Each structure stands twice: as structure tokens, then as C-alpha cells.
Amino acid sequence: MNPRGANQPNVDPDLHPLVIPEASLVEQLGSVADDLRQLNTDFGLRSYRVFSVTYEWSGGEPGLGEARIASQQELLPTPKLGLEPLSKEARAAGLVERGIVTLTEVSPRYTEEQIGQLFADGAALPRPFQSFVEIQMDRRDGSDQPRRRFAVVGVPARDPDAFQWTVRLSRQDAQRLPDGQPNPVLLTMADRLAWELRR
């Protein structure tokens, strides 16, 4: 016999799901969190900018034909990022950066659909398109700073306790050329395999 009897949580009339989640206190404070984080940018504590970038390839799929920038959207307020997990590996062409970093303090006011568009999984995009995230240092060290390119790892996570989304990013090669034009390099084997599996 159950010692708790009929005192089960699912029949407790005081317990219920959130009736109007879009009007919850957490949702109402999302704009306050964004305003406070904007101060980090205004004070100069965010020395970089974060962009969601999409290429469209003229050949019908990434790596074929010529690439053009189909869209570029900056994430605001500037999320928090640490590049410390990146390391440099020696390759035939020189040193390359490798590693996974975590983007935190992404605005909680982005909807799940918007986050899915900003941090799109390449396999979820129409065939001619390729999406990634760019991190570019601001102009304090000059106006021609390189754009580090990252791919999204896993699924972005909503963290209501911290008023944020968090996104894991993996360092990629083929960052844009100094003049801002797409880099016409071939896809990595992993990229090619992912696209072939979609055929």
C-alpha cells in the first residue's frame, strides 16, 4: 500500500502548468536583461561583434559555383564569448585554430524559431545555402580585423534562470577574405558527407 495514499502531485489542485507563459515574470524581465547587457558593450567590455551569416552558392549546393552573402544579421545585445578554449594546431599551410567555444547571454527575447534561423543547422537549410556564425573583433585594433568562422554544435539551449540562450560553436576554416568577400575554398570532408547524405 502506498503510504502517501491519494496525496499525489498530479491530483493536487494547487499545481498546474504555467497558464500564460508569454506573460511570465521571466519574459517581462527579458528586456531589462538586454538593457543591462548593452552596458557591457557601451563600456567597451565586449571587444567583438557576433553575426549570423548565410551564403548562397550558384552551383546549387555549398562548395559548388560562386558564393554570395545572402544575409548577415548581428546579434544584439552583444553576447558573451570567451575564445580561451581555442588552440592552434600545426598544418601544412600553417597554424590553424581549433576548438569549441560557448556563446552565452544571447538575448532571451529571441523566439525558438528566430534562434533556429540565426543558428541554422546546415542540413536544415535549402541546398544552395550555407549558414555559420562569425566573430569579428571591433575596430579598437584597426578596421580590418579578421572574421573568425564557427559552425553551430548541437542545439541552442534556452536558459530562463539566466535570461539567455546558450550556443556551442566549433571553429571552422574558410573565413571570409580581408575585403569581406566569401572565401571560395572547398568544403571539408565532414561538410561534403553531410550534404551527400541529403541527396
191 contacts 62 by C-beta, under 8 angstroms: yes
Domain ranges of the chain: 17-196
Give the other-Cβ count within 10 Å of 131's Cβ. Answer: 21
Residue 149, strand partner residues? 134, 172
Which residues touch 162 (CB under 8 Å, ≥6 apart)?
104, 105
**This prediction's pTM:** 0.81
pLDDT in 10s for each residue of the chain, 199 residues: 566 666 788 888 888 888 888 888 889 999 999 999 999 999 999 999 999 999 998 888 887 888 899 999 999 999 999 888 888 888 766 778 889 999 999 999 999 999 999 998 766 788 889 899 999 998 888 878 889 999 999 999 999 999 999 999 999 888 888 778 888 665 554 555 555 554 5
Largest CA distance in the chain: 75
Give the other-Cβ count within 10 Å of 164's Cβ. Answer: 23
Q: Read off the C-alpha cell for 199.
A: 541527396
